[in-house]
Structure 1
Amino acid sequence: MKRQLLMHVMTAVLVAGLVTMVGCSKPKVADPGTMNQGRIGETDAEKAARIEAERAARLEAERIKAQQIKAQQLKAQQLEAQRQARIIEAKSRFLNQNILFDFDSAELTGQAKVLLREKAEWLQANPSAAVMIEGHCDERGTTVYNLALGERRANTVRSYLVNLGVSSRRLGTVSYGEEKPLDPAPTDAAYRINRRAQFVIN
């Protein structure tokens, strides 16, 4: 009898313990006011405002990046245009600045040597260019004499450029004597510019 009573008591204690455990482990129901929030304590309006701000910031960053890329492209185009302009200008100087000589002379003046050093620099910067050096004279003197003088002038220029390091294979010479004057007038000014060595790119 006592044994049965003890068993009933123990069973009652176990049942009470189980009931208590089940009651403590009951899942909590979420507060309706805190549902559907992206961050703790964030309301729907705050979430919408945050998303819009992030979108605006992303668009602004993309706009700034696009502007920077466009500015870099524009700068590169300007630099290339300047480079091309310098190339054209240097080529124009090379072709249009003739080497002038004194009357009945094939010797280089100081100014002629300065110009030839510039021309040598251009030739070294443009290694694929080959040129013809034309020797010219004014109309005074015989045709035969002027052809020979024009040849000496062209050869003097060629030799000076070779001494500056330009390959002789890139430099041809020809004499026109008095046949191709820049100015046909019988004046000292015309004679001066006609006594020349002139460059033509092949």
Structure 2
Amino acid sequence: MAYSKGEKYDEKTTEGLIKTYRESISLLGEDPEREGLQKTPERVAKAMQFLTQGYQMDANAILNSAKFHEEVSEMIIVKDIELYSMCEHHMLPFYGKAHVAYIPNGYITGLSKIARVVDVYSRRLQVQERLTHQILNSIKETLNPLGVAVVIEASHLCMMMRGVQKQNSVTTTSAFWGEFEKNETRSEFVKLISSRLH
């Protein structure tokens, strides 16, 4: 699958979602023909396609689009990557930051591509645990590095707005592979993502 940029909306999908959201608004007790709601089903249909566009994207193709041979074997970290995703259990957002590192084994990729990989998997109906491992596995499979590390810190609106209603909770997930399974390398990574060097 080729990698391309830009927002795209499938006409058939949009039409189906518009109908569904119009019915949902009515079932919730509102009038979908009220002035303020007339265009809401279309807006939500397009918003949901944007928020789940990761299904139409290939993370490995993105990494391969800027893959370069380079004799570097030191840790490369892209930290504080903003992420926005949708909890698959309640379809409410969760948001936060991803910190991603890898140790090259002959190949590097463009730094922006790491952030795009985070977007590919976060722009889907997700759980944070799976998201963490999907990012790691894509980098592992495509670049064949010596090691990969991913840490995600996120706040979940399904916990903040409903259910337990805890506004200040943050969920942290991590995945380590290869050299990062060694305590010394993992500790260096955690220390670097925790510091403020800039």
- Tell me the TM-score normalised to structure 2 length: 0.26
* Larger strand fraction of residues: 2
State the structure with bigger RCO (CA 8 A, min sep 6), 1 or 2.
1
- Tell me the TM-score normalised to structure 1 length: 0.25
